[in-house]
Chains A and B, each alone.
Chain A
């Protein structure tokens, strides 16, 4: 019985878990956002708000969309992400193409391109 208990433990922890954990470093999106968006507070203010657009389809790829927006929100806190129609500034994250000069929102202009896939746009809001 002792041997079985030992097997129980070793199998679960070492055989199953250890190689997985010890394999590759997980891709850390939050730190990447923090690193690239360091100048964001200068643009929108420390307690500012931003909208968010992405080339991830919020309907077809709902989980990925929400995951990305949650990670972005955590990375840029205390700047808040608010609904697109109410935001003067918009952060665009483009995973499949490079950030365009203007996003899908009318009258928006590129303010700063942080890297090829990350940019901030500004537009008039009523």
Chain B
């Protein structure tokens, strides 16, 4: 099973990376190292996301057994052949197009020290995650109460997978999207066993992919040191490192959110000569809404911010470009709608008319706002969950100041606006929550901050001055 899992994950990353190479071609003065870091990060997310989507699709249309395998094989072959064709017709793929030599990474003391700290942090974080997975093989509450539980039902009752949505059973939160269950189920099905290694590896993979993507994106857009410092900050957050080993779905959500923003950045810095990065951004946006219910707020925030900043204010993206982005995410939206309407139609306790009297009375309770505000502020500065990096960021911005490059302004503004809208949305959800407020805050707030953490770090390190000396 371990061997099968490694083979499957390897193929997933390879195929995803091929797609990302096709959609993010090397241009101008791109350094190859950060470009490939980004491609590998994207590759992991694309492979996992598209496979989960395909698995749900084949379950829905009852394309079972050997037929499904043939479809997967055919799609893989098409991607591979198109990749070869793409490489053959783009001989400059691994070089910069203009022939300028990529900037050589600095070998100053600061860079060497940062690389050392980053590598050390990376190894320690990965080791901790593996240790946590060994000690807690089934993950935390959400993992065994719905994500992996749903995958178990698919696996054991396949092809009668709809039994997982029996409303009489102890299965809870039936309307949660199936990104993780479909992915875990398909790999279990390939390997022929429901091994705990699979969800643990998915968690580890998304942790690594998020760090690699953040480092690569900042390295490419700002500087290598900037990327390394952001990576160290991310690896310093206990909740982020352990969340993957707990087999929860928050790190994938954070990954797809930041991926979508980074892809739009590629579209802008490429001077909009190709729509490919925008297509990639749309795919990530689509996969994002397939991860969790919370992600629908995140994706809506991103689309609205993109519309306001890129389309209306800076006018760097046309309506047509935005249409391309949205239409690419449309297949995922259709799939989510099908799931919500046909597979797990449930009354939503937040918006259903039956709950309006309760919601309206909660909206008028000023004390709720105060409690939530206090918790939000505490969470933001709580050291034991966020590490000591918040004071570090404050000191950093004081020492280095702000240095915003003109072409990065829209990206920074969109990122911050998206984060603010997500935070405001969560705040409002807590105000109207049907659950006991303190319990709801206790059990979910820390994880909600994980969703915005990589995007926040990405925007922050694009905003502040470059770190050349410490």
Contact = CB atoms under 8 A, between A and B. Distances in A.
Q: Which of B135, B242, B399 has the most CB of A within 10 A?
A: B135
Given A11-B388, A80-B170, 15 more contacts: A5-B392, A9-B232, A17-B128, A17-B241, A17-B242, A21-B132, A28-B137, A30-B138, A49-B169, A70-B149, A73-B169, A78-B163, A80-B169, A81-B170, A82-B168
A14 to B, nearest CB: 7
Given A30-B138, A52-B170, A5 B148 contact: no
B123 to A, nearest CB: 10
A126 to B, nearest CB: 16
A11 B153 CA distance: 41
Contacts of A125: none
A46 B156 CA distance: 9
B151 to A, nearest CB: 9
A12 B163 contact: no
Contacts of A21: 128, 131-132, 135, 242
Nearest to A81: B170
Contacts of B237: 12
Interface of A: 1-2, 4-9, 11-14, 16-18, 21-22, 25-26, 28, 30-31, 46-47, 49, 52, 67, 69-74, 77-78, 80-83, 86
5 contacts: A12-B387, A21-B128, A28-B138, A30-B144, A73-B171
Interface of B: 110, 113-114, 117, 120-121, 124-125, 128, 131-132, 135-138, 141, 144-145, 148-149, 152-153, 156-157, 160, 163, 166, 168-172, 229, 232-233, 235-238, 241-242, 384, 387-389, 392, 395-396, 399, 467, 470
A46 B238 CA distance: 40
Nearest to B170: A81
Nearest to A78: B156
A9 B138 contact: no
Contacts of B163: 47, 78, 80
Nearest to B154: A78
B236 A2 contact: no
A13 B171 CA distance: 35
For the complex of A and B, 7 pairs with smallest distance between CB atoms: A2-B470, A12-B387, A78-B156, A80-B169, A70-B145, A81-B170, A77-B152
Given A8-B392, A71-B144, A74-B148, A13 B121 contact: yes
A49 to B, nearest CB: 7
A32 to B, nearest CB: 11
B117 to A, nearest CB: 6
B198 to A, nearest CB: 15
A74 B233 contact: no
